[in-house]
Amino acid sequence: MIVAQAVHQHASQDLLFVVVSVGLAVVGSFAALVSAIRIPLSQGAARVRWTLAAALSLGGGAIWSMHFIGMIGYRVDGLDLRYDLPRTGVSLLLAVAVSALGLTLVARRPRSIGWLALSGVVSGLGIAAMHYTGMAAMHVGGTVTYRGGIVVLSILIAVAAALAALWIAFRVRTGRHVVAASLVMAAAVCGMHYTAMAATQVQAGPGNEEVAGTDPISLAPIVCVIAFSVLAVVIFAALGGVTESGSFSMARESSRHRRPGAGTAAMAGVAGGPAGRTVDGGGGGEAAGQPLPAAFVNPRSDQYRPAPPVPVWSRPPAGESTTRSG
């Protein structure tokens, strides 16, 4: 329960909306992470698409939708709350824009602490600006003020949440890690929002004046349906629903090729053509000296897929068995 520290005004949160907002934060964080895995493994237009998908999932789903549903559940005794739609739309654009900026900066050098710190501060301040822009869109028929100390705390939490989100986004690689990281990110996002709400102080106006704006209850189902639908599509695509390989398998293959010595066999020889590399020796049905498929050599391709078996075109020497293991 949140108490607005104003004259005779008591505020609280509807538990149902709190639960839904937390669910949006978790699902949005998961969608953002499985999309972010694709960013360093893609290039060109594909890289841009996955950056936008991650930004939309993080900024629009985990942050803004969670914030908006949480705001709809905010109740002040004796006051009718309404929302200014243009300002609400601006807060959505802010959330997506700062998420895209942060992901783009970190993706340039994922292991750089300096880039991570810069991106986290910029994104955190942007998230705080999104929250208080959304609060400015709330019309209560009275005066809304904030306790300065808690506002500063909420901004610090926003920066910490952004740092955690961006650090996690380019380091998780397995399903279990992504699920755990999604919970951590959701906790950070929700912590920032409800800390900022605790700073709110509401004082009733002088009379029973009519409050202008849109009824938030009518917006709740629309926001929930759109948000969960978009996040479901992003997750489906990132996990391989519309391509031949999902985020986790791409990450495993990329990690395998970055491991010292993993590419020794692939570098054994160079052949003409787009693949250009050969394997020296064959296990598991692969023939010695055959070209390694380009998709296997370059895991950054958007159409990256595990290498198919390489056919043996030459006739085996006399006396050798033609039976292939496997």
Residue-wise pLDDT tens digits, 30-56: 999 899 888 888 888 999 999 999 999
The answer as to whether 142 is a domain residue is yes
Question: SS3 for 201?
Answer: strand
What is the crossing angle of helices 15-36 and 175-198, to 10°?
140
Query: In this predicted structure, which of 122-136, 184-198, 272-286 has the lowest mean pLDDT?
Result: 272-286
Same domain, 106 and 176: yes
State the pLDDT at residue 50: 92
The CA R_g of the chain, rounded to the nearest whole Å, is 26
Residue 30 shares a structural domain with residue 119: yes
Considering the domain architecture, whether residues 227 and 280 belong to the same structural domain is answered as: no
The strand pair at 74-76 and 11-13 is best described as antiparallel
Averaged pLDDT score across all residues of the chain: 75
| pLDDT greater than 90 at residue 65 | yes
Shared domain for 127 and 204, answered yes or no, is: yes
* Percent of the chain with pLDDT strictly greater than 70: 69
> How many structural domains are present in the chain?
2
List the beta bridge partners of residue 200. Answer: 146
Looking at the fold, whether 197 and 107 belong to one and the same domain comes out as yes
- Please check whether residue 167 lies inside any domain of the structure: yes
Same domain, 172 and 269: no
* Nearest-angstrom CA–CA distance, 131 and 143: 18
Beta strands in the chain (DSSP E): 11-13, 74-76, 82-83, 138-139, 142-146, 200-204, 269-270, 277-278
Rounded mean pLDDT of 202-231? 83
Residues 88, 52, single domain; the answer is yes
Same domain, 100 and 223: yes
147-156, 252-261, 287-296: segment of lowest average pLDDT: 287-296
On the question of pLDDT at 262 being above 50, the answer is: no
Examine the pLDDT at 250 and tell me if it is beyond 60: no
Q: Is the pLDDT of residue 129 over 60?
A: yes
Establish if 243 belongs to a structural domain.
no
Over residues 181-209, the mean pLDDT reads 83
Indicate whether 72 and 171 sit together in one domain. yes
- The pLDDT score that the predictor gives to residue 90 is 93
In terms of domains, do 226 and 271 share one? no
Chosen domain end from 238, 273, 299: 238
- Classify burial at 138, counting beta carbons within 10 Å of its beta carbon; exposed 0-12, middle 13-18, buried 19 or more: buried
pTM of structure: 0.69
Cα–Cα distance for residue pair 167/116, rounded to 1 Å: 7
Residues 223 and 113 in one domain: yes
Decide which of 184, 203, 238 is a domain's last residue.
238
Confidence of residue 8 (pLDDT cuts 50, 70, 90): very low
Residue 218 lies in a domain: yes
The answer to whether position 189 is within a domain reads yes
- The pLDDT confidence band at residue 281, using thresholds 50, 70 and 90, is very low
Q: Are strands 269-270 and 82-83 parallel, antiparallel or unpaired?
A: unpaired
Looking at 220, 238, 256, the residue that finishes a domain is: 238
Does residue 244 lie within any of the structural domains? Answer: no
Select, from the ranges 67-76, 284-293, 316-325, the one with the highest average predicted confidence (pLDDT): 67-76
For tokens 């920066």, the residue is 159
Which residue segment(s) compose the domain that 92 sits in?
Answer: 11-238
C-alpha triplet 267, 268, 271: angle, nearest 5°: 85
Q: Is 302 a residue whose pLDDT tops 80?
A: no
Nearest Cα residue to 131 out of 198, 81, 75 = 198
Is 193 inside any structural domain? Answer: yes
Cα→Cα distances 194→13, 114, 252, Å: 10, 29, 37
Q: Tell me, yes or no, whether 76 and 190 share the same domain.
A: yes
**158: helix, strand or coil:** helix
pLDDT for residue 312: 42
| Pick from 70, 53, 14: nearest CA to 223 | 70
In a domain, 326, yes or no: no
